[in-house]
Amino acid sequence: MDFFDVVSVQEAKEKLTERFIEYEFGTEEVSILECTNRVLARDIYSSINVPEFNRSTVDGYAIQSKDSHGASESIPSLFNILGEVKMGEIPNHIIESGEALYVPTGGMIPEGADGMVMIEYTEKLDESNLMVYKSISLNENIILKGDDIKDGDIALKKGRRITPEMVGVLAALGISKVEVYKRPKFYIISTGDEIVDLDEDLELGKVRDINSYALHSLITKLGGEVVGKTIVKDEYELLRGETKKAMDVSDIVLISGGSSVGARDYTGKVIDSFNGKGVFVHGISIKPGKPTIIGEGNGKLIFGLPGHPVSSIIVFKSIVEDYVREKMGVVDFIPKTKAIMDFNFPSSSGRETYQMVKLKEVDGKTYATPSFGKSGMITLLSNSHGYIVIKAHEEGVYKGENRDVFLL
């Protein structure tokens, strides 16, 4: 397979979107105890007010705020104590001018009251007389009914990756189950006569299957599911048979090459042998990762990833992850940080370049240093904190620039 038609990363993404415009991962309902990191498939509307009543944010006394105006350390205001409301109870008093009712943090504000004075600014003379040493403003220390979330509002938008804080919102709304996107199903095929699995002997000249384990972990981290994982020799019929099996049970098939020319040929021919559009991306101008092919067969998405573990990981992160996020409309903040480049670095003009970097903090500033190493070294990745993306039109990186570092 020749790489005459190498496309940019952006073009590859667009072709991918276009070819799979109708493909859906589907949704499922899960308990909010199991929804962390899943992606919301529907907007969450509130059918209640949160809070459902005017609630105190402090321990203290509910009063009419105007009664406290002018009160100070030297000239306190005097109030008549009506008693107290307990947590979870409805107050059985209506507050009138000059009256005070004790309300704990989280307790319900009685009718008539429009402010809470903190207990620290009061003094109880006896069971029924209270001195207040501070003036409070209207609704001070009160969360009004619906202040947090209003009945009918969209509380959480679809596409958000569910955080603990969002689980808190779901619980506040009384929602115990939530509709999320199904985990995309992946099948990983490692090809290559030289590839040996972990439980096999490593004869000289052979190499361990690194890619399928690294990809397995990337898929786990992304929230996907690996439904199959296998190694096949560089033989057309074997690869076709395995790919057919993979397409039947997964959403996305990853064939990690054999980065030799012959192996790439097999992958392309196999993809083209099924019903469908066949290979529609024949190489991407990305560094590392150029010999990547993308195709469709029997309605399923098939990636031919480079054999180099580093290239394969970079293509997964830049293209595969991006596709999954786009399909689910994920709107979360991708883990990245701004850092000051402490190096000059030229890039391959015309190719989107992924450069691994280490981060360090000096005097409260974050600096990025490039991780150097030869192409294909796995420690290039494992010893780095993240990577910078140098766009195809850029000439490189200049020392002192403040750029995004995407965290691994």
Rounded to whole angstroms, how far apart are CA atoms 116 and 135?
Answer: 10
Does 193 sit near its own copies (CB under 8 A)?
Answer: yes
**In the complex, what is the shortest distance from the CB of residue 185 to its own copies, in angstroms, rounded to a whole number?**
16
Q: Which of residues 117-136 bind its own copies (CB under 8 A)?
A: none
Does 373 sit near its own copies (CB under 8 A)?
Answer: yes
Binder among 125, 138, 207, 331 for its own copies (CB under 8 A): 207
Contact 289, 318 (CB under 8 A): yes
Contact 15, 127 (CB under 8 A): no
**In the complex, what is the shortest distance from the CB of residue 333 to its own copies, in angstroms, rounded to a whole number?**
5
Amino acid letter for position 22: E
**In the complex, what is the shortest distance from the CB of residue 147 to its own copies, in angstroms, rounded to a whole number?**
7
DSSP string, 107-143: PBPPTT--EEEEGGGEEEEETTEEEE-S---TTTTEE
Binder among 234, 251, 322, 352 for its own copies (CB under 8 A): 234
**In the complex, what is the shortest distance from the CB of residue 323 to its own copies, in angstroms, rounded to a whole number?**
17
Q: Which of residues 76-115 bind its own copies (CB under 8 A)?
A: 86-90, 104-108
Q: Which of residues 5-44 bind its own copies (CB under 8 A)?
A: 32-33, 35-37
C-beta of 8 vs 105, nearer to its own copies: 105
Q: Which of residues 287-326 bind its own copies (CB under 8 A)?
A: 307-309, 313
Does 51 sit near its own copies (CB under 8 A)?
Answer: yes
Does 156 sit near its own copies (CB under 8 A)?
Answer: yes
**In the complex, what is the shortest distance from the CB of residue 97 to its own copies, in angstroms, rounded to a whole number?**
25
What are the residues whose beta carbons fall under 8 Å from the beta carbon of 206, sequence distance 6 or more?
Answer: 194, 195, 196
Beta strands 129-132 and 122-126 are antiparallel
C-beta of 215 vs 330, nearer to its own copies: 215
Binder among 3, 30, 148, 225 for its own copies (CB under 8 A): 148
* CA 344 to chain centroid: 31
Instruction: Choose the stretch contacting its own copies; rule: CB under 8 A; options: 1-9, 12-20, 70-78, 160-168.
Output: 160-168
Residues 78, 84, 85, CA angle at the centre, nearest 5°? 135
Rounded to whole angstroms, how far apart are CA atoms 178 and 365?
Answer: 41
Q: Per-residue contact track with its own copies, 247 to 286, x per CB under 8 A?
A: -----------xxxxxx-----------------------
Q: Which of residues 213-232 bind its own copies (CB under 8 A)?
A: 213-218, 220-221
Dihedral pair phi/psi, residue 250, rounded to 5°: -130, 170
Binder among 15, 19, 134, 336 for its own copies (CB under 8 A): 336
In 3D, which of 318, 273, 272, 274 has the Cα closest to residue 292?
Answer: 318
3-state secondary structure of 208: strand
Beta strands 396-397 and 345-346 are antiparallel
**In the complex, what is the shortest distance from the CB of residue 131 to its own copies, in angstroms, rounded to a whole number?**
20
Binder among 175, 227, 238, 392 for its own copies (CB under 8 A): 175
Does 366 sit near its own copies (CB under 8 A)?
Answer: yes
**In the complex, what is the shortest distance from the CB of residue 177 to its own copies, in angstroms, rounded to a whole number?**
9
Q: 298 is written with which tokens?
A: 């029997």
3-state secondary structure of 310: helix
Q: Count the residues of the shown chain that bind its own copies, applying the rule CB under 8 A.
A: 102
Quick one: angle between helices 236-249 and 261-272, nearest 10?
50
Contact 347, 395 (CB under 8 A): yes
In 3D, which of 298, 289, 397 has the Cα closest to residue 345?
Answer: 397
Q: Residue 185: beta bridge partners? A: 225
In 3D, which of 127, 138, 58, 69 has the Cα closest to residue 98?
Answer: 69
**In the complex, what is the shortest distance from the CB of residue 219 to its own copies, in angstroms, rounded to a whole number?**
9
Does 408 sit near its own copies (CB under 8 A)?
Answer: yes
Binder among 22, 127, 205, 275 for its own copies (CB under 8 A): 205
